Amino acid sequence: MANNDRVRVRGVTIHRPIIYGNTATVLTEKEKETLPTDHTHRWTVAVRSAASAPDSDIVGGADDLSYFIKRVTFKLHETYPNPNRVLDKPPFEVTETGWGEFEIAIKILFLSDSGEKTMTFYHHLKLHPWTLVTGPDVEIPTPEVAAKLGPVHSWQYDEIVFNDPFQSFLNLLTAHPPTSLPKIKRRPVPFHTADPSSLEASKGGVPEFQQEMEKEEGERLEKALKTIIEDTHKWRNKLIECEKEANRLKKDLDAFQS
Ligand code: SLL
Taking only the tens place, the pLDDT of each residue in 173-184 is 999 999 999 887
Distance of CA 209 to the CA centre of its chain: 12
Q: CB-based burial of residue 219 (10 Å sphere; 0-12 exposed, 13-18 middle, 19+ buried)?
A: exposed
**Nearest of 164, 168, 166, 167 to residue 10 by alpha carbon:** 164
The count of domains in the chain is 2
Name the residue of 39, 45, 75, 77 whose CB sits within 8 Å of the most ligand 1 atoms, as the mutation to test its pocket: 77
Give the residue whose CA is nearest to atom 16 of ligand 1. 80
- 101 C-alpha to ligand 1 centroid (Å): 6
Assign 214 a pLDDT band (cuts: 50, 70, 90): confident
Kindly give the number of the ligand 1 atom that is closest to the alpha carbon of 79.
Answer: 9
Report how far residue 207's alpha carbon sits from residue 124's, in angstroms, rounded to the nearest whole number: 18
Based on the fold, state whether residues 161 and 255 are members of the same structural domain.
no
Where is average pLDDT lowest: 22-36, 129-143, 148-162? 129-143
Based on the fold, state whether residues 199 and 166 are members of the same structural domain.
yes
Q: Are 159 and 17 in contact (CB under 8 A)?
A: yes
Based on the fold, state whether residues 257 and 181 are members of the same structural domain.
no
One-letter amino acid for residue 67 of the chain: Y
Based on the fold, state whether residues 90 and 150 are members of the same structural domain.
yes
pLDDT at 140: 74
Give the residue whose CA is nearest to atom 2 of ligand 1. 102
pLDDT at 56: 86
User: Greater confidence, 107 or 209?
Assistant: 107
pLDDT at 200: 46
Residue span of the structural domain in which 34 resides: 3-207
Whether 97 is in the pocket of ligand 1, judged by its Cβ within 6 Å, is no
Domain boundary among 167, 186, 207: 207
Report how far residue 92's alpha carbon sits from residue 72's, in angstroms, rounded to the nearest whole number: 6
- 124 C-alpha to ligand 1 centroid (Å): 12
pLDDT at 190: 56
- pLDDT of 194 above 70: no
Name the residue of 101, 103, 104 whose CB sits within 8 Å of the most ligand 1 atoms, as the mutation to test its pocket: 101
Based on the fold, state whether residues 241 and 199 are members of the same structural domain.
no
Give the residue whose CA is nearest to atom 17 of ligand 1. 100
Based on the fold, state whether residues 158 and 248 are members of the same structural domain.
no
pLDDT at 188: 64
pLDDT at 197: 47
- 217 C-alpha to ligand 1 centroid (Å): 32
Which of 12-21, 149-158, 195-204 has the highest average model confidence (pLDDT)? 12-21
